[in-house]
Amino acid sequence: MTAPGDLKLLAIYEMGGYPNFLPLYHSLGFSVQVVNSIRKARSLLKKEIPDVIVAEYNFQSQFRDRSSNLETLMAILEKYGETKVIAFYDSETGHKLALFQQTFPLFATLPYPVNEKQLQDALQSVVASDFQAT
């Protein structure tokens, strides 16, 4: 059984524009690593797979072979299956996120402006589901 504090969270802050949630992550007992790009997150995933990732969903129409920043990350995570991803998104691209989730299901999605209570609830669900699975 995983003890609180043994859960690892990777926070990917690419664009920002929302509050610093590090105090919340720590208060819930997560060990936190922070990176500022998907590329750095991919590098980290070669060494360690977190229990949860909190990232931004950024739809990018100019990408030639993908539609968002998260596609590469989610393709890597498919191999491991246990990491839960919480994504922040712009409500204007919610329809694109819905299409994305047909291929890559996310644990939770939270629209901007991110509500701290909703994020807390989602993270507590991660903790609860981890305890039920072990």
| C-alpha–C-alpha distance, residues 110 and 66, integer Å | 22
| C-alpha–C-alpha distance, residues 107 and 123, integer Å | 10
| C-alpha–C-alpha distance, residues 16 and 29, integer Å | 23
In a domain, residue 64? The reply is: yes
Cα separation values, 71 from 33, 52, 63, 129, Å: 20, 16, 11, 24
In a domain, residue 3? The reply is: no
In a domain, residue 2? The reply is: no
Q: Name the β-bridge partners of 73.
A: none
Quote the domain boundaries for residue 52.
Answer: 8-133
| Tally of domains in the chain | 1
CATH number for 107: 3.40.50.2300
For the entire predicted model, the pTM comes to 0.88
Q: What is the pLDDT along the chain (134 residues), one digit of tens a residue?
A: 344 458 999 999 988 778 899 999 999 999 999 999 989 998 999 889 999 999 999 876 655 555 677 888 888 888 876 899 999 999 998 998 998 899 899 999 999 999 999 999 999 998 887 655 54
